[in-house]
Structure 1
Amino acid sequence: MKNNLLWDIKRFYPKEFMAGKEALNIIKQQFGIQLPEDEADFITMHIVEAQMNQTINDLDGLTQFIQKVIQILKYTCHQEIDEHSAYYYRFVTHLRYLAQRIFSNQISIEKSDSSMLDIIKLLRKF
């Protein structure tokens, strides 16, 4: 089964993806079966799901949310982002927690803060 979010999963959850790759190595050593890299992605999704107490469907939405925010940021600022920098990983971590709060309806937006509300409505459309 092919996972269309493989590239994003690698970028947004690098430590968890490394654990998924290690799981593939263990499977190969124990059973002599070489599974495709996409399987490491699915293992990664389960690890992240357990960490965030979200379902896989939510995790797809969370990952796409992060991807869209980064695309909007690149487009708006007219510059590339160094995806290997500590700042990038910290930013993605903050986006992960923001997305988790939005998708689980834990975030409370005051009606008076219409600009923030408009941004979140725009991002939820993606």
Structure 2
Amino acid sequence: MYRITKPLNHNALLAFNMDDAREYLVVGRGVGFGRKPGERVEDFGGAVEPQRYLLSQAAGGRGDAHDLLARIDPVVLDVAEGIYEDVRDTFGKADPKMLLPLADHLAFAVARVREGGGLSNPLTEDIRALFPREFEVARRGVAELADRMGVELGDDEVGLIALHVHSSLDDGHVEQAIQVAQLTRACIGAVERLTGSAIDVSSYDYNRLMTHVKYMVTRIIRGERLSIDVNETIKLSAPSSYRAAEAVCAEMERLMGTPVSELEVGYLAMHIARVAGEESRAASHR
């Protein structure tokens, strides 16, 4: 049995569970419609089971859940719930713990835009290419926010929201997704220095390089090791790419605070050489 503490909007309310003596944020289509404080509810039910978020859980680093809910515009919370539902519909799953951190992020972004402050995100294009479906979900959410609140957040903010979406899918964190994007940017920067020209972000090799970095970061976090040793071969065939990979792996160790296996250097260098065309140049001189 629940006792309604506070309806927030048609799709969200605070409720005290009288069985376990804890308070929850309950989110789902129509759960708050017509509810009144003090009302007792046995089951929220509905076509889609609503999500229950325990308010004693950490809520994203800028205060506890009660503090966040007190300062977040209910429309922002509603848009965050819409993004959550879109994630669930698009990918077939979503971690409900994403809701409050995402709502907090949106509220902060709206306040920043209204105060005239812009956001610059140098990783936007990398995020768009790394996580295209997440980016589109985020774009739809930002469009809904603009429609309902008249606030245009822009693609740089869409990129950051896409990271929230991604982190809700694979038990990761926004920080880890940012690391993937940063390290991908380091790889692309190394390739561009080698070639002296900008890389085509729509190319197959570019996307393959980003996918490699993504799984490389995951392996390092999980403590998994490669069994393939291509170091000596790549050192001989693509020495510039190997040196670039060494620099990127050193940056990876700094960002992640975790040793990177030497075997990762050669495997990454192989992908860098392919994008930079160094393997082709080496072959043509043999």
What TM-score does the superposition give when structure 1 sets the normalisation length?
0.70
Q: What CA distance in whole angstroms lies between the structure 2 residues aligned with 1:121 and 1:86?
A: 23
CA contact (8 A) 2:192 2:199 kept: yes
Alignment partner for residue 168 of structure 2, among 41, 50, 58?
50
1:107–1:72 distance in 2 versus 1, CA, 3 Å: farther
CA contact (8 A) 1:20 1:40 kept: yes
TM-superposed CA distance for 1:79, in Å, is 4.5
1:96–1:86 distance in 2 versus 1, CA, 3 Å: same
Residue in 2 aligned with 1:122? 250
TM-superposed CA distance for 1:34, in Å, is 2.6
Give 1:54-93 correspondences, 5 Å limit: 54-93=172-211
> Cα RMSD between the aligned structures?
3.0
CA contact (8 A) 1:52 1:100 kept: no
Q: What CA distance in whole angstroms lies between the structure 1 residues aligned with 2:250 and 2:226?
A: 14
1:3–1:50 distance in 2 versus 1, CA, 3 Å: farther
The answer to which structure, 1 or 2, has the higher relative contact order (CA under 8 A, 6+ apart) is 1
TM-superposed CA distance for 1:45, in Å, is 0.7
CA contact (8 A) 1:21 1:40 kept: yes
1:52–1:74 distance in 2 versus 1, CA, 3 Å: farther
> Which has the higher Rg, Structure 1 or Structure 2?
2
Residue in 2 aligned with 1:9? 127
TM-superposed CA distance for 1:73, in Å, is 2.3
1:26 correspondence with 2:144: yes
Q: What CA distance in whole angstroms lies between the structure 2 residues aligned with 1:7 and 1:66?
A: 11
Question: How many pairs align?
Answer: 121
Matched to 2:210, the amino acid is V
1:108 correspondence with 2:236: no
1:40–1:63 distance in 2 versus 1, CA, 3 Å: same
**Local SS of the residue matching 1:9:** helix
Question: What are structure 2's unaligned runs of at least 5 residues?
Answer: 1-108, 110-118, 233-244, 256-286
TM-superposed CA distance for 1:92, in Å, is 1.5
CA contact (8 A) 2:219 2:225 kept: no
1:35–1:78 distance in 2 versus 1, CA, 3 Å: closer
TM-superposed CA distance for 1:78, in Å, is 4.1
Deviates more, 1:92-101 or 1:78-87: 78-87
Residue in 2 aligned with 1:99? 217
1:60–1:54 distance in 2 versus 1, CA, 3 Å: same
Poorly superposed stretches of 4+, deviation over 6 Å: none
